[in-house]
Structure formats: C-alpha cells, structure tokens
Chain A
Amino acid sequence: MRVRGVLHRRTIPVRFPKLYVFKPKPAGDGAGKGRTYLVTEETTELELESRIESIARAAEVAAQVVRRLGLSEEAAYGVDMAVREAVTNAVLHGNRQDAAKKVEVKFHGSPERLEITVRDRGTGFDLNSVPDPTDPQNLLKASGRGILFMRTFMDDVQYSRHPEGGTVVRMTKRK
C-alpha cells in the first residue's frame, strides 16, 4: 500500500485531555495545499494515573484508534479486552495503585497492524512463575486470567523490562 500521508497524534489526558494533531506531509510531487491525504499510520500516547478509572479511559481511546484504523468488530472486541487486561495489570500489579507512578500506553497503527505497548513502573515479575489459570488446581482462583485473555485476543504478546525501569507489554493485532 502506498503511504500517502502520515499522521501522528499525541494525546495526554492526565487531567485535561489535549489533542495535538500534526498535519500530514504532502506526498510526492505537488504542493500539499488543498489535497486530501489518507491516514495510513498513527501514534497515540497516553499517560494514565494508577487508578481503576484509567482502565476504562484506555479502553475508550483504544476504541477510537480501532475505529480510525477500520478494524473489524471482532478485532475491536479483542483489542478492548486486551487493553483492559494489560492496563489492569499495570495499575494493580505493576504500580500497585501508587499515585506517584504512571501507566504509559502507546497505540501505533499501520496498514498492517495495530501495536499497543503498556508500560508500568513496577518492580517486574517472572512470566514463567505466573500460574496457568487453566490448570485444574487453579480453576477456582479468583484472579490470574488476564494474561491468558491478552494472549487469546491478540496475535502476539511480549513482555520485557524497560531499560529505565518498569515492565513493558507489547501486543500486536494484525489487520
């Protein structure tokens, strides 16, 4: 697909949402004035408080991104579910609802995929030590199913440590 324009969005809804839209560069030959460009790539960044309310806020922005990218209803449901679970983990387990710690969420949409990263400022965890919630002995546990949902609804889920601290989960949904 020919990239005719690139739009970068930066959203910082800490208390008062602010939207910065950078106009697309003119593609190729002519002067850009008066021309219409297709949005083929976009980036939206959020910085969220470590509160339960931030989960719905992240899901709300995810829905807007998904709509702009034209993902199917089924894909939209999966992204919504994965974003809620990732932000829930960041708020509760990563930052432990510490008001001094923020959760950073980044959505990067391209013609091929939507990539979402969620970073917390926690001390991290060993992915291998997370119990399998579908193991018969864990079925009646009240928690521990978030990562399973993220892996179910996204095409790829990777965890890493951020060099400056915190855990980063990178989730990809192919278009």
Chain B
Amino acid sequence: MAELDIKERQAGDVTVLDMDGKITIGEGSVALRGAIRRLLEEGKKKILLNLAGVGYIDSSGIGELVSSFTAINKEGGQLKLLNLTQKLQDLLAITKLLTVFDVYENESEALSSYK
C-alpha cells in the first residue's frame, strides 16, 4: 500500500482531496506535491485538503503543506485544511502555522468559505 493515498472529488468548484496515510519525507511528500501540481495544471485552484486520515506527518510533510499553500496562492487560488488530527494540529501550533492556514472542522463550513 502506498504511504499516502489521495482520493479526489469535486464539491461545486472546490476540489477536495481526501488523504489517508503519512506525509513524510520521500513518498508521502512527493505524492502530495504531485497531486497539487496536477490540479494547478488542470486549472483547479480552490483546493481543500481533508486530512482526517493523516495520522503522521514530519517536518518535510509540514514543509510540503507550506509549499502547496504558496504555490496555490501564487496562482490566485486558495488552499484550506479540513479535519486535522490532534497530532497535526499540535505540530501546526508548534510551528505557528495555525496562523497561516485556514483550518476547518466541518466540511460544509469549509466549502462555503471559498470565494
């Protein structure tokens, strides 16, 4: 099984990526980078990462979330995060990235927040 499984679905004009697994250096980070790059190439710029199934992330994975955020912003899009596990929430607090990311616990709220 792949380290990180990413399933894509469309909710209106927002693309939701349901992620399951680990986002760590190597395979997991590369998978996330590839998925974001592909969506941008397809012109999909409103992206919601559902991280409910991501129980483990390292500093490289955090870095990949930041890179995704800046790449999407650069294209005039928006990246938001949904359903953070406690561990991920703690890591984003430690790195002060909770102030950077738009984080939601409820999918419909997250979807309606896109402009």
Per-position 1/0 for B81-115, Cβ under 8 A of A: 00000010001001111011000000000000000
Question: Which residues from B are CB-within-8-Å of A134?
Answer: 95-96
Determine how close the nearest CB of chain A comes to the CB of B112; give it in whole angstroms: 26
Binding site for B on A (CB under 8 A): 52-53, 55, 77, 81, 84-85, 88, 133-134, 139-143, 145-146, 148-149, 152
What are 5 pairs between A and B in contact, CB < 8 Å?
A: A55-B26, A88-B58, A139-B99, A139-B100, A148-B95
A142 touches B25 (CB 8 A): no
Q: Give A80's nearest chain B residue, CB to CB.
A: B56
Q: Classify the secondary structure of A's interface with B.
A: helix
Question: Which residues from A are CB-within-8-Å of B95?
Answer: 133-134, 139, 145, 148
B25 touches A145 (CB 8 A): no
Q: How far is the CA of A81 from the CA of B55 in the complex (A)?
A: 13
Contacts A81-B58, A85-B59; A139 near B94 (Cβ below 8 A): no
**Interface stretch (choices B13-21, B34-42, B62-70):** B62-70
Q: How far is the CA of A77 from the CA of B70 in the complex (A)?
A: 29
Q: Give B65's nearest chain A residue, CB to CB.
A: A142
Determine how close the nearest CB of chain A comes to the CB of B103; give it in whole angstroms: 15
Contacts A134-B95, A140-B100, A148-B95; A85 near B58 (Cβ below 8 A): yes
| B78 at the binding interface (Cβ < 8 Å) | no
B26 touches A52 (CB 8 A): yes
